[in-house]
Amino acid sequence: MNWKKNDLVEVTIEDMSEDGEGIGRAEGYTLFIKDAVIGDRVQAKIMKMKKTYGFARLVEVLGASESRVKPLCPVSGPCGGCQLQSLSYERQLAFKEEKVRGQLRRIGGFENPPVEAVIGMEQPWGYRNKAQFPIGRSKDGRIIAGFYAGRTHSIIETPRCFLGDPVNEKVLKIVVDWMEAYGIAPYEESGHRGLVRHVLIRVGEEIGDGRQVMVCLVINGKRLPHKEELVQALRTLPGMTTISFNINTENTNVILGREVRHLYGDGYITETIAGLRYRISPQSFFQVNPEQTGKLYDVALAYAGLTGRETVWDLYCGTGTITLFLARQAKWVRGVEVIPSAVEDARENARANGITNASFYLGRAEEVLPRFYEEEKERADVIVVDPPRKGCDTALLDTILAMGPERVVYVSCNPASLARDLKYLCAGEYELVRVQPVDMFAQTVGVETVVMLSHKKR
């Protein structure tokens, strides 16, 4: 290969990577090009080279693909939040289906996985109920809010994110104005100095004058100066339901610290999905796309195949969202979750929805389930898992194999760890029966997948 760094090349994009980069070949050398979409003919500049492949930057689209669309957001290029805004939504769905199939093949070793067409969104914008904006300073010293540029921690100032609720912009303006007015410093990662790190905003269902709004400032300190003034200013926004701050004094990339202090309201907002009402606290996990969440849980419920007689375990249950869906059609459901406030929310959610056949346990799934199995000879007809990106611990998978429920329903936000875990379970007594991707994250490369595994001998 005769290329070198900074060379300009012309390539046709023939494929897309899992991260959404266009893939093309220049005289046989494979290049990954961000913001280039399948079918494009582009000019690109080689930025970084490895032996068998390299990365290039898109310079100009010479011939636009039929799947190329104009991004809605002016900072869709530099911002690390979206990767697929230049790709038509229809094509995004095809990309996600292929991503799931590809991982199941490559990592899972399933030759022909039964992947259904992705369940798409009706309106692929403005769907997110949660946003976490880092706060920092511009080069000229102004306080700014925005999102991190891809793979970095430099903040791209974004007055508005098109995936989120319009109220975000208003909240950020109030917070930034308040910081400027009272000389409150944004956090600086390099020197671990300054106070305000992030602004977490969540919106819930409509009650009264609009969607409920939660604001939580993440601060590098234990005290928030001029908090009354902040609360007063935020309360002018319709729907403002709860205001709090979260203490994170660690030198870390993790956004939230452990402790939350409430400044206004009851500390939570609510969302209703398929007739079940859930309360959401700043620290609890809750799916970011409520419209698609209902569809996702419907699939999970259908795959669980409940008749009312089953004992079900829902591992990684968060605030008990899936648990309560299952409880309506099972004999008993046990949820396991590691975050204490989420378990409290889960119990409260069960109570508030009149559900009496669900119980919740605080702890790691890979410790709680083995303990119940070994000490109490606990059995299960159906086990549902919905782990974070890294997937399930082997100790948990081993216990599932030992318990041998009739069906396992695996809900996953990461096809790679999903494929790895399915391979493990299917090397045991399980068979991969159905795979349904659901689009919860339009414009991004994220894809949620629900899988049904069935025990071969039951």
Q: Catalytic residue positions?
A: 413
Our CB check for ligand SAH shows the closer of 35 and 345 to be 345
| DSSP per position, 127-165 | --SEEEEEEEE-TTS-EEEEEEBTTS-PEEE-S--TTS-
Any contact of residue 21 with ligand SAH (CB under 6 A)? no
Taking the complex as a whole, how short is the minimal distance between the CB of residue 365 and ligand SAH, in angstroms? 4
Grouping H, G, I as helix, E, B as strand and the rest as coil, residue 11 is strand
Element (H, E) at 402: helix 394-403
- Show the site string, 60-79: x = touches ligand SAH by CB under 6 A, - = not: --------------------
Find all residues with CB under 8 Å of 177, minimum gap 6, and list them.
233
Q: Find the binding residues for ligand SAH in span 274-313 (CB under 6 A).
A: 285-287
Q: Find the binding residues for ligand SAH in span 380-439 (CB under 6 A).
A: 386, 388
Letter string b/e over residues 46-64, b meaning 16 or more CB atoms within 10 A of that residue's CB: beebeeeebebebeebeee
| DSSP per position, 57-71 | EEEEEEE--TTB---
Stretch that binds ligand SAH, among 107-115, 204-212, 220-228, 334-342 (CB under 6 A): 334-342
Do 256 and 130 contact (CB within 8 A), yes or no? no
Helix ranges (DSSP H) in 28-143: 89-106
Taking the complex as a whole, how short is the minimal distance between the CB of residue 374 and ligand SAH, in angstroms? 17
Pairwise CA distance, residues 167 & 378, whole Å: 47
**Residue of 105, 364, 423, 455 interacting with ligand SAH (CB under 6 A):** 364
Any contact of residue 339 with ligand SAH (CB under 6 A)? yes
Any contact of residue 365 with ligand SAH (CB under 6 A)? yes
Taking the complex as a whole, how short is the minimal distance between the CB of residue 295 and ligand SAH, in angstroms? 13
**Residue of 317, 400, 419, 452 interacting with ligand SAH (CB under 6 A):** 317
| DSSP per position, 195-241 | SEEEEEEEEEEE-SSSEEEEEEEEESSS--TTHHHHHHHHTTSTTEE
Q: Which residue is at the shortest CB distance from ligand SAH?
A: 318
Any contact of residue 347 with ligand SAH (CB under 6 A)? no
Our CB check for ligand SAH shows the closer of 260 and 339 to be 339
Stretch that binds ligand SAH, among 158-166, 315-323, 417-425, 441-449 (CB under 6 A): 315-323
- Output phi, psi for 100, to 5 deg: -65, -45
Any contact of residue 22 with ligand SAH (CB under 6 A)? no
Q: Find the binding residues for ligand SAH in span 78-97 (CB under 6 A).
A: none
Our CB check for ligand SAH shows the closer of 4 and 389 to be 389
Taking the complex as a whole, how short is the minimal distance between the CB of residue 76 and ligand SAH, in angstroms? 27
Our CB check for ligand SAH shows the closer of 412 and 443 to be 412
Stretch that binds ligand SAH, among 11-19, 113-121, 183-191, 361-369 (CB under 6 A): 361-369
Taking the complex as a whole, how short is the minimal distance between the CB of residue 283 and ligand SAH, in angstroms? 9
**Residue of 290, 318, 391, 405 interacting with ligand SAH (CB under 6 A):** 318
Taking the complex as a whole, how short is the minimal distance between the CB of residue 236 and ligand SAH, in angstroms? 32
Our CB check for ligand SAH shows the closer of 286 and 360 to be 286
In terms of Cα–Cα distance, which of 5, 23, 95, 12 is closest to 61? 12
Cα angle 434-437-441, degrees, rounded to a multiple of 5: 165
Our CB check for ligand SAH shows the closer of 225 and 388 to be 388
Q: In the beta sheet, which residues pair with residue 360?
A: 335
| DSSP per position, 430-452 | EEEEEEEEE-SSTTSS--EEEEE
Q: State which amino acid sits at residue 340.
A: P
**Residue of 29, 303, 316, 424 interacting with ligand SAH (CB under 6 A):** 316
Number of residues engaging ligand SAH in binding (CB under 6 A): 18
Our CB check for ligand SAH shows the closer of 91 and 202 to be 202
Letter string b/e over residues 281-317, b meaning 16 or more CB atoms within 10 A of that residue's CB: bbbbbbbbbbebbbbbbbbbbebbebeeebbbbbbbb
Tokens read off for 198? 């992030």
**Residue of 56, 273, 336, 438 interacting with ligand SAH (CB under 6 A):** 336
Any contact of residue 342 with ligand SAH (CB under 6 A)? yes
In terms of Cα–Cα distance, which of 16, 12, 36 is closest to 24? 12
Q: In the beta sheet, which residues pair with residue 384?
A: 314, 409
Q: Find the binding residues for ligand SAH in span 144-173 (CB under 6 A).
A: none
Our CB check for ligand SAH shows the closer of 54 and 282 to be 282
* Residues composing the chain: 458
End-to-end Cα spacing for the chain: 56
Any contact of residue 338 with ligand SAH (CB under 6 A)? yes
The site for ligand SAH (CB under 6 A) is made up of: 285-287, 316-318, 321-322, 336-339, 342, 364-366, 386, 388
